[in-house]
């Protein structure tokens, strides 16, 4: 992905946080000697990166800290000498690493959010910190709902449909998911009982060294026969976790939109539309519960994927 598209400068970064002693949380600001400012870590994408990958890479390069990606945060826009700049942020929980001064950042400070808002040099960063401070929705997701990758045409497959495998594009989509989904720290992989669903998770399982369990309730026909069983399973997986990490569930296009609608996820900007999207190879990142749900949709994780989150949960 080029950093500039039609005069627009693109960038991505993270709002870092960790639990504070005695309760609450702290966030990290970085000092950039080139600009003599206090800001949030961020930077421009390398060729071929999705902005989420950019955000994690830039955080690592500027701070040396290891993070687990949380929910999508706000987007800021402002003018720079090159033109308009748009920065996408994610909330990121710090789980390790150690800061060392470098060419871009000579100091890092951990502060309560209120003190960080007072120190930060740019007003647009305060909007990100305000989002970090929210308590009505969780910062960390607990469930990723993945629709299986492309598996060719049902009419061109001679065998039982549950055995239909991924095609070449589907295998490439599965490889891409295996590259990006580890940023959310998966700890459990589950699948509907379809070959194409299991194959979608196999590259991720190999990378993480995890097994793939069965969740038959999330199959298309199984969901139609007993929707409540599927919703009960999803609500269990949405439960809060003491440690950062998510369950990843691969399912089908006949089940995922209905589950999301039952959880309260709606098509933004289209009154009355009940069913959110679930393109092949897409991922929904979910946390919380109905009424206090974060729900971020990633059509795919390619560098040229649309970056506007057209669908959102009750946030």
pLDDT in tens, 202-227: 999 999 999 999 999 999 999 999 99
CA distances from 267 to 63, 207, 292 (A): 37, 33, 17
| 232-253 mean pLDDT | 94
Question: What is the sign of the dihedral through the CA atoms of 196, 313, 258 and 308?
Answer: negative
Of 104 and 303, the structure prediction assigns the larger pLDDT to 104
Residues 116 and 236 reside in one and the same domain:
no
Task: Measure the CA–CA gap between 142 and 135, rounded to whole angstroms.
Answer: 16
CB of 129 closer than 8 Å to CB of 119:
no
pLDDT-derived band of residue 269, with 50, 70 and 90 as boundaries? Answer: low
Q: How confident is the model at residue 267 (pLDDT cuts 50, 70, 90)?
A: low
pLDDT for position 154: 84
For range 5-18, the mean pLDDT = 89
pLDDT tens digits, 176-204: 999 999 999 999 999 999 999 999 999 99
Q: Is the pLDDT score of 61 beyond 60?
A: yes
User: In terms of domains, do 72 and 168 share one?
Assistant: no
CATH number at residue 279: 3.40.50.1240
- Per-residue pLDDT at 315: 41
At residue 240 the predicted structure's pLDDT band, cuts being 50, 70 and 90, is confident
Three-class SS of 153-204: CHHHCCCCHHHCCCCHHHHHHHHHHHHHHHHHCEEEEEECCCHHHHHHHHHH
Query: Would you say residue 138 lies in a domain?
Result: no
Q: What is the DSSP letter of 44?
A: P
Please say whether the beta carbons of 284 and 144 come within 8 A. yes
**Percent of the chain surpassing pLDDT 70:** 92
Q: Which of residues 111, 132, 153 is at a domain's end? A: 132
Of the three residues 132, 167, 187, the one that is the final residue of a domain is 132
Residues 80 and 184 in one domain: no
- Are 119 and 152 contained in the same domain? no
- List the domain range (segments joined by +) for residue 76: 4-132
User: For the chain, what percent of residues have pLDDT higher than 90?
Assistant: 82
153 in the same domain as 200: yes
| pLDDT number for residue 51 | 96
310 confidence band (pLDDT: 50, 70, 90): very low
- The CB density around residue 124, as the number of other CB atoms within 10 Å, is 16
Whole-number Å distance between alpha carbons of 45 and 54: 5
Query: Could you tell me if 290 and 149 lie in one domain?
Result: yes
Contact at 8 Å (CB) between 132 and 24? no
| 251's tokens | 């399912």
d(CA 132, CA 153): 43
Instruction: Grade residue 313 by pLDDT with cuts at 50, 70 and 90.
Output: very low
Question: Count H helices, E strands: the chain?
Answer: 8, 16
For residues 236 and 286, the answer to whether their CB atoms sit within 8 Å is no
Mean of pLDDT over the chain: 92
Domain presence at residue 137? no
Per-residue pLDDT averaged across 73-98, rounded? 95
CATH code (residue 37): 3.90.79.10
Q: How many CB atoms lie within 10 A of CB 242?
A: 5
Same-domain status, 290 and 197: yes
- pLDDT for the residue numbered 23: 86
SS3 category, 26: strand
């Amino acid at each position: 992905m080029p950093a500039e598209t039609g005069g627009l400068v693109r960038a991505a970064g993270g709002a870092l946080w960790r639990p504070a002693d005695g309760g609450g949380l702290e966030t990290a600001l970085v000092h950039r000697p080139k600009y003599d400012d206090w800001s949030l870590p961020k930077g421009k994408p390398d060729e071929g990166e999705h902005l989420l990958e950019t955000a994690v890479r830039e955080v690592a390069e500027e701070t040396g800290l290891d993070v687990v990606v949380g929910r999508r945060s706000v987007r800021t826009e402002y003018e720079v000498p090159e033109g308009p700049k748009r920065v996408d942020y994610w909330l990121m929980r710090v789980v390790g690493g150690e800061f060392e001064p470098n060419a871009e950042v000579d100091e890092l400070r951990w502060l309560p959010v209120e003190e960080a808002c007072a120190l930060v040099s740019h007003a647009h960063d305060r909007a990100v910190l305000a989002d970090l401070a929210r308590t009505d929705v969780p910062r960390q997701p607990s469930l990723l709902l993945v629709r299986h990758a492309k598996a060719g045409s049902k009419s061109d497959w001679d065998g039982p449909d549950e055995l239909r495998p991924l095609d070449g594009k589907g295998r490439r989509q599965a490889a891409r998911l295996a590259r990006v989904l580890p940023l959310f720290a998966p700890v459990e992989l589950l699948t509907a009982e379809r070959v194409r669903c299991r194959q979608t998770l196999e590259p991720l399982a190999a990378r993480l060294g995890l097994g793939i369990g069965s969740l038959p309730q999330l199959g298309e026909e199984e969901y139609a026969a007993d929707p409540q069983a599927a919703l009960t399973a999803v609500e269990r997986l949405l439960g809060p976790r003491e440690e950062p990490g998510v369950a990843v569930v691969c399912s089908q296009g006949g089940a995922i939109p209905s589950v999301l609608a039952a959880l309260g996820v709606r098509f933004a900007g289209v009154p009355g539309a009940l069913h959110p999207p679930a393109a092949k190879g897409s991922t929904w990142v979910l946390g919380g519960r109905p009424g206090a749900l974060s729900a971020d949709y990633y059509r795919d994780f390619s560098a040229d994927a649309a970056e506007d989150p057209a669908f959102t949960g009750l946030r």
